[in-house]
Structure 1
Amino acid sequence: MLSVYGYWPSFHDDIIKEVTLGIDGIAMNILMQSKPEDVEKECMVKLKFLGVEDMNLEGWYSCNIVLDIEFEYERENIKSMICASLGLTGCIVSKSMSAEIKFF
C-alpha cells in the first residue's frame, strides 16, 4: 500500500465487494474509489485478517460503502474497525493483517 499510495488510505468512499470467511481467516476485497492521481488503472485491495480472535460484522448490503477503516493494536492483536456510510460495518480482531493491491 505504501509503495503505491505513499500513505495508508482511510478507505473513505471505497466499496467492499466481497468478504470471505475461512478457517485461515477473513479476506475482504475493496474496490478503491480513492487513489493517487498518478494511478490511472482501477485497483482492488485485498485485506487479509489471519488468526482471527473475534469478529462482529453486520449490515451487508448490495453496495457497501466505507466511511473509514481504523486499525489499532490491542495487546498482541490488531483491532480493525470498519465504519460504513452504507452497508457492512463491524470489527475484526486478528493476530495479523496484510494488504495486497491488484490493478485491472
Structure 2
Amino acid sequence: MKKERLISSYDELNDTFVGKIDGKNGYSANYCISEGIFLNMDKNNMPTSVLVDKASEVFNVSKKCLESANVQIGIICDGDCLSFKMFVEDSNICSLRCKNSFGIPNLNFLVDCNI
C-alpha cells in the first residue's frame, strides 16, 4: 500500500471538500467516480486530489463534520473495479465501488492527514 500525506480543506459556503496529496500539483485527468465525487489523476494515472461538490449532501454528514482536519482517503483499484473510502475522525463517511471504466491501473493508495 502506498501512503501519502493528505492536505484537506472544506469550503462551508460552497459546500466543497478538496483533498490534495502533499507535493502533487495539477492533474492530467479528472474522473467523476460517483455523483459529486471527482478523482484527479496525474500523467502516470496516480491520484493527485479529490474534489467533492455538495459534500455534506454527497456524504450525508454535517458541514461541521467536514471541517475536521482528521481525514483519510483510501483508493483501491484492481483494474476492473475502483473502491473509494473516506474517513473523518475515524468514522467511515463514504464507501463506494464502481466499474473502472477510466483505465486506472492496479493501485492501493492511502492518503492521510496524519502521516
Shared fold, TM over 0.5: no
The TM-score normalised by the length of structure 1 is 0.39
The TM-score normalised by the length of structure 2 is 0.37
Q: Which has the higher strand share?
A: 1
